[in-house]
Amino acid sequence: MTFFETSLNLRIYSLCWILILVYGCSSNLETEKDQTNIPKKNKLVSAASDSTKRIDSTSITLVKSEITSDSSSAEEITSITPIYKVGSYDSTHQRILLMGDSEAGGLMYPLNDYCKANGHDLVATFVWNSSTILNYAYSKKVEELLNKYHPTMVVFVVGLNELYAKDLKKRTKAAQKFIEKLGDVNYLWVGPANFDKDNGINAVFEATASKGKFFRTKDISIPKGSDKRHPSISGYRIWMTSIANHIQNDTSYGFTLNPPKKRGTNIKGKVITANAAKDRGY
């Protein structure tokens, strides 16, 4: 073999090794690139999915203290369609009057959605901020509202401003007086969404209302709003879903209140606000 042939073979041998090294490096780079493109698991979606597994869809009753603030998981909860008890309900047109303290102002919006979806009218809403059962019992507001709007159904929400009240005998007399004012009008007394323990006001209201006519909100967990005292927007929706479920599962009401497909419907009924701190009414 000549010197020229030996030199040529060495060059070819070296070139082959260079090509092998270049190919190996490029393969490693492609592998690393592919790995960087693999999407990471979305922790938020995973958390929301886990939270919905803990929901009882028959009543949208949440595990106590598991949700304490407005969150994406709360939005997941509101998307669940409740399973209502099968009964001989019809779509009898109802004229619904909502009245109560500041929490009535938050329930007004989802209640209006339920009314629109089921052929009912939310004829009026009276939000008496800072009010208690004493204001409704000893003022003329109830009589005035009943005479003006002629409701077939009253939804009454009160108790938030008397969670710490200890004069329960006085509150019992006031509660009885309020019930007398309603006469033969059908009603649901909705207890406060209290995030703190009360001194017995829920028990007073429940004992005063007729059987099945009191909704014990304190037994369900709903998201808090930013003030930590009232429910959040999604909290009011969850609350209203549970109220609607209660109504449809009680034959004493006998009308449909199925979940709405549309939210934020226009409120056509009269909305009246007052402040008991400035006008206690009696």
Q: What are the CA-CA distances from residue 184 to residues 10, 115, 153, 154, 179 (Å)?
A: 109, 21, 10, 11, 10
In a domain? residue 6: no
What is the predicted pLDDT for the residue at 211? 94
Residues 6+ apart with CB under 8 A from 22: none
Rounded Cα gap, residues 148 and 142, in angstroms = 10
Of 195, 196, 215, 197, nearest to 205 by C-alpha is 215
In a domain? residue 153: yes
Contacts 24+ apart (CB under 8 A), 231-236: 231/103, 231/106, 231/193, 232/69, 232/70, 232/74, 233/70, 233/106, 234/70, 234/74, 234/75, 234/77, 234/78, 235/70, 235/74, 235/193, 236/106, 236/107, 236/109, 236/110
Rounded Cα gap, residues 130 and 25, in angstroms = 73
- As to burial, measured by CB atoms within 10 angstroms (0-12 exposed, 13-18 middle, 19+ buried), residue 39 is exposed
In a domain? residue 9: no
Q: And the tokens for 233?
A: 């927007």
Residues 6+ apart with CB under 8 A from 172: 204, 207, 208
In a domain? residue 27: no
Contact 154, 99 (CB under 8 A): yes
Contact 280, 139 (CB under 8 A): yes
Rounded Cα gap, residues 78 and 55, in angstroms = 11
State how far Cα 15 lies from the chain centre: 72
In a domain? residue 134: yes
In a domain? residue 59: yes
Contact 270, 121 (CB under 8 A): no
In a domain? residue 41: no
Q: And the tokens for 96?
A: 């619904």
Residue 186: DSSP 8-state: E
In a domain? residue 40: no
Domain count, the chain: 1
Task: Sheet containing 153-157: give its strands across.
Answer: 214-215, 186-190, 153-157, 95-100, 121-129, 270-275
Rounded Cα gap, residues 160 and 157, in angstroms = 9
For residue 147, the SS3 value is: helix
Domain that holds residue 247: 46-275
What is the predicted pLDDT for the residue at 194? 85
Q: What are the CA-CA distances from residue 171 to residues 65, 167, 200, 201 (Å)?
A: 29, 7, 10, 8
The CATH number that applies at residue 80 is 3.40.50.1110
Per-position pLDDT tens, the chain of length 282: 554 454 545 555 555 555 554 445 444 444 443 433 333 333 322 322 333 232 232 333 333 333 333 433 333 344 444 545 444 456 689 999 999 999 999 999 999 999 999 999 999 999 999 999 999 999 999 999 999 999 999 999 999 999 999 999 999 999 999 999 999 999 999 999 988 899 999 999 999 999 999 999 998 889 999 988 899 999 999 999 999 999 988 889 989 999 999 999 999 999 999 999 999 999
